[in-house]
Structure 1
Amino acid sequence: MALHKLGKDPESKTGDSPTVYLDDETDNYLVQGWKVNDGRRSAMDLPDNEDVIEIPRRMVQFFMKEDRGDA
């Protein structure tokens, strides 16, 4: 498995920002983001093996990059 960092939140001021990765073995995205622990989470039908995180809209750009090398 090789994880490729596609991009971090460009507006992060702390350095611990949301990040988007691509796993080139599974061709799946992995997303680091903020935990959702409020009423929105309880409004979702989440199975035990899934979770939900939140990222800013500006990060969508990293999902569609043609160059999938390290950002």
Structure 2
Amino acid sequence: MRVTQLVSECELGDCPTLYATDRGTLLVQGETPHDHGLRLPAHETVVEIPVDLIRKAIRDQLI
């Protein structure tokens, strides 16, 4: 899979980031919350990112 960084909260690569793949999908890097109360299958997870990260990607017409 080829991954391209779209938008990030920082330049260091260790903060919330949105990526595009060559599969036509998005990857999200963020904090893993443990107090969400959701029932997730073992092969899935959730991450928490700032809403402003999505707004910035839309504003910059990246998604």
TM-score range, shorter chain: 0.7 to 0.9
RMSD: 2.1
- Indicate the residue corresponding to 1:8 in structure 2: 8
Supply the AA of the counterpart residue of 2:21.
D
Query: Which structure is larger by alpha-carbon Rg, 1 or 2?
Result: 1
Give the strand-richer structure, 1 or 2. 1
Structure 2 gaps of 5+ residues are none
- Indicate the residue corresponding to 2:40 in structure 1: 46
Matched, 1:59 2:56: no
Name the TM-score, length of structure 1 as normaliser.
Answer: 0.69
Instruction: State the aligned residue count.
Output: 60
Name the TM-score, length of structure 2 as normaliser.
Answer: 0.77
Deviating 4+ runs (over 6 angstroms): none
Structure 1 gaps of 5+ residues are none
Identity over aligned pairs, percent: 32
